[in-house]
Amino acid sequence: MANGFLRNIDENRYAKERLAPEALIRCGYWELWLAALEMNLVENGVLELAAIRERERRADPGATAPAVAPDGLHDAIGGLIAHGVDMASQLSEPHRFGAGERVRTRVSNNRRHTRLPSYAMGREAVVVSRLPAFPLPDAVAHDPGGQREWTYRIRFEAEELWGQDKGGSDAVMLDVFESYLIATTPAVAGSVEEAP
């Protein structure tokens, strides 16, 4: 990402998710990474697919004249490894939910990118912690300038996720974006009900 060819991690995750189901199941871990990287480089206009296909059929596809890194690239990569990229921010609107509050997760099957796992959709949980705002993966997978949302750490009892037979004393914690959550407390009389 230091050279600007790749825009964010969610476009890469979304590329993997767009692979045909049989490819997603049959490909190895790094094979999925290669497929997604190739999709991102082609879609972002960095390389042409035909050029990659032509090159990979050569006897020695990796052979090149000696290549020197562009000015500043290695410093930028070193800085990225040492300092990371802080994507956190604060929003002008406060967090909608507070620690200890009961919430329900949304259910969505729109086939776009999201970071709410399907096992955790439509389940009740308790907010453990308020966390900073981050770019919403559902938005930035398509649009690098997409909106930000507050995040939360929430806790599900194992029984809520897996039924009565599973670990009554155990729990799963999950980090979620604010729009993944719905309040479970009844609306105050006279207030407008939020559409689900």
Partner 1 sequence: MTDIRSDASTASGNYPAAPEQLLARAQAIEALLKERGALGDDTVARIVAAYESDIGPLHGARVVARAWVDPAFRQRLLTDATAACGELGIGGLMGEHLVALADEDDAHHVIVCTLCSCYPWAVLGIPPGWYKSPEYRARVVAEPRAVLAEFGLTLPASTEVRVMDTSADVRYFVLPRRPADTEDLDEAALAALVTRDCLIGVALPKSPR
Residues in 175-194 that interact with partner 1 by CB under 8 A: 175-177
Distance CA 47, CA 51 (A): 7
Kindly state whether residue 97 participates in binding partner 1, applying the rule CB under 8 A.
Answer: no
Indicate whether 18 belongs to the interface with partner 1 (CB under 8 A). Answer: yes
Token pair belonging to 196: 């689900």
Does the footprint of partner 1 cover residue 159 (CB under 8 A)?
no
Nearer to partner 1, 129 or 187 (CB): 129
The single residue among 8, 125, 151, 181 that binds partner 1, judged by CB under 8 A, is 151
Distance CA 122, CA 103 (A): 10
- Cβ closest to partner 1, residue 62 vs residue 190: 62
The shares of helix, strand and coil residues in the chain, as percent rounded to the nearest 5, are 35, 20, 50
Which position among 7, 13, 96, 130 is part of the footprint of partner 1 (CB under 8 A)? 13
> Collapsing DSSP states into helix, strand and coil, what is residue 10?
helix
